Amino acid sequence: MSVVSALPFLKPAHAPVSPGRQRRHTLPASEFRSLNTEDAVSVFELEREAFMSVSGECPLYPDEVRHFLTLCPELSMGWFVEGTLVAFIIGSLWDQDRLTTDALTLHRPRGTTVHVHALAVRRTFRQQGKGSTLMWRYLQYLRCLPHVRRAVLMCEPLLVPFYQKSGFVVQGPSEITVGPLTFVEMQCPVRGHAFMRRNSGC
């Protein structure tokens, strides 16, 4: 099954525009799509707003955002409200059971694990269910990708309940630390959902 067959959940970044749609002048009220390098500036601006005040560190530097959006744009998802990016996820493939520091910068195309590097929601859009909804759509989308078996992430301990609500389970403390920050590693299986795939338009 190809990435294209997962499109009910994710519109391509540059979908061909039908003549009938060319006349539309208003921006879509709400749109989910994969990100591309042209979105990198908006992604980093939102990432800075989301993370700098909280932890003083961004999970991805601007060149890393561009790196992943070049290598594996299909593992990203942005939520745009009237054309403005309000939430995003950036992922890449990983090929080991646990995350190591290499996972922070590498995309391993043969891997079957999606490493979720960052989820962020614009401050004025938080506490409205957007983070959970975006993660739900992202996991649904991953279920349509036949080579993907699970999603993993590392988060600060206080966010464990948030990710548990999305179906992630704790794997244990992460070996990765950033300055004084420590992280919990979590995973969510995305395979074995044949019923869901059959009924989700994959």
* Residue 31 vs 201, nearer CB to ligand COA: 31
The Cα angle at residue 190 between residues 186 and 192, in degrees rounded to 5: 130
According to CB under 6 A, which one of 129, 157, 173, 201 is a site residue for ligand COA? 129
Cβ atoms of 31 and 70 closer than 8 Å: no
Does position 124 bind ligand COA by CB under 6 A? Answer: no
* Min CB(30)–ligand COA separation in Å: 14
Give residues with Cβ within 8 angstroms of 180, minimum separation 6.
none
**The token pair that represents 130 in the structure block:** 């957007």
According to CB under 6 A, which one of 98, 107, 108, 126 is a site residue for ligand COA? 126
The Cα angle at residue 168 between residues 162 and 172, in degrees rounded to 5: 100
Of 3-11, 32-40, 114-122, 137-145, which segment contacts ligand COA by CB under 6 A? 114-122
Q: Residue 58 to residues 8, 25, 119: CA-CA distances in angstroms?
A: 31, 35, 11
Residues from 48 through 87 that contact ligand COA (CB under 6 A): 50-51, 54
Catalytic residue check, 181: no
From the centroid of its chain, how far is CA 143?
13
* Residue 22 vs 124, nearer CB to ligand COA: 124
The residues binding ligand COA (CB under 6 A) are 50-51, 54, 119-121, 126-132, 155, 158-159, 161-162
